[in-house]
Amino acid sequence: MSIDHHPSEERLLDYVSGGLGESWSLAVATHLALCPKCRNTVARLEAMGGGMMDAAEPATLADNSFDALWARLESEEDEADSMPAIAGHAGKIDLPEPLRSYVGGSVDALPWQNMGLGVRQLLIPTADQSTARLLCVAAGRPVPEHTHRGEEVTLVLQGAFRDSTGIYAAGDFQEADETVLHQPHAEKDRDCICLAVTDAPLKFRNLAFRLVQPFIGI
Ligand SMILES: [Zn+2]
């Protein structure tokens, strides 16, 4: 699996420091299950955090500035690329952990809610105020064009989608906010299944879609 889009450095740092809510942690942790590069980064951040906690001298803490930390991480990134991925997605997909613990392992057995327009969703209960859901967009179909009142992250689990910012395939992690107006299209060859986390309802351009929004829970 070739993964081109990763969580931001800030988000990985928040993940390591325990600063992310459950929904966002679920998305990051599931990406980590698929991405050896980010697993490697997180492992080194955790080691670095432990080292900083152990440092008794204030001078030692100053030496470990985050600029220096990221310079060091970036210089070591090449070796991470050679690590094997945990899950392969050539045929029928098995959902990776920790997502699997929330919804079960088999995509075919999921109790999808049909939203019309070729889109199905499955809401995932989490303890924080954000919303986590699986989305399945039929091959070749668009998701209605929308912006965000807050943040949205999308982790592709099967198939691929494209929008004005690029192509996202299995394992890719997209981060969007209120400045991004996008209309993702599932690629033609396969239904696209994603884990999406939002901290506020999406804002659709289409008035009809906005009217039914409260009833379908997107
Ligand atoms: Zn990654």
53 CA distance to ligand 1 middle (Å): 26
Report the distance separating Cα 55 and Cα 57, nearest Å.
6
Place of tokens 């879609």: 209
- Residue-wise pLDDT for 62-112, tens only, equals 555 556 656 655 665 544 444 434 344 444 567 999 999 999 877 878 999
CATH level 3 topology of 99-216: Jelly Rolls (2.60.120)
Domain with CATH 2.60.120.10 in the chain: 99-216
181 has a pLDDT exceeding 60? yes
202 CA distance to ligand 1 middle (Å): 25
CA atoms within 13 A on the CB side of 185: 10
Report the CATH superfamily, name and number, of domain 9-80: Anti-sigma factor, zinc-finger domain (1.10.10.1320)
- How many angstroms separate the Cα of 46 from the Cα of each of 12, 40, 206? 10, 10, 44
Query: Residues 185, 162: contact at Cβ < 8 Å?
Result: yes
- Residue-wise pLDDT for 35-57, tens only, equals 999 999 999 998 887 777 676 55
- How many angstroms separate the Cα of 101 from the Cα of each of 104, 117, 170, 201? 6, 29, 19, 25
37 CA distance to ligand 1 middle (Å): 5
215 has a pLDDT exceeding 60? no
Domain with CATH 1.10.10.1320 in the chain: 9-80
12 CA distance to ligand 1 middle (Å): 9
User: Mean pLDDT throughout 138-143?
Assistant: 91
57 CA distance to ligand 1 middle (Å): 33
